[in-house]
Amino acid sequence: MNIEVRFAELRDLGHCTRIDGDVDAQILRWKVRRREIIVAEVEGRPVGYLRLEYLWSQVPYIGLIRVVPEHRRRGVGKAMLHFLEEFLRSKGHRWLYSSSQADEPEPQAWHRHMGFRECGFIAGINRGEVGEVFFRKPLAD
């Protein structure tokens, strides 16, 4: 399976909006222009999505990473993560942060498998008072 990973373009906004319905389309358009959305494709079909955020306008943070169910566990998430890491290294960043809800063991396991280490917790931040586990990964070669 050949996975193509790239920054999203304006033509990808429909795909981005379908996957990331919690973010207003105008904000997604702005993020696409700022190279803060990454997409993965297989045979020209979008199968993955990653939204980059910057905490305090400086610290890179994965706001959302999703892979369509039929392409999970096939390296799509890993490919998007590696693409992002290379980009961030080229910009001089030393760390990448991410998080997962406390009641989501599979995404937490993925983060650990990808080299992230737990670095914090915020209680009750999500719907239903579910906490959020935060992760950090070094970007040094």
Name the 3-class secondary structure at 100: strand
DSSP state of 31: H
**Mean pLDDT (10-residue bins), the chain, 141 residues:** 93 88 88 96 93 96 92 92 97 96 94 96 90 95 61
In whole angstroms, give the CA distance from residue 62 to residue 36: 10
What is the model's pLDDT at position 31?
95
What is the model's pLDDT at position 48?
94
Q: Contact, 84 vs 38, CB < 8 A? A: yes
Query: Would you say the C-alpha torsion 90, 93, 95, 99 has a positive or negative sign?
Result: negative
In whole angstroms, give the CA distance from residue 120 to residue 35: 27
pTM, to two decimals: 0.92
DSSP state of 84: H
What is the model's pLDDT at position 141?
61
Tell which CATH classification among 3.40.50.150, 3.40.630.30, 3.60.21.10, 3.30.70.1400 matches the domain 1-93: 3.40.630.30
Domain boundaries, the chain: 1-93, 94-141
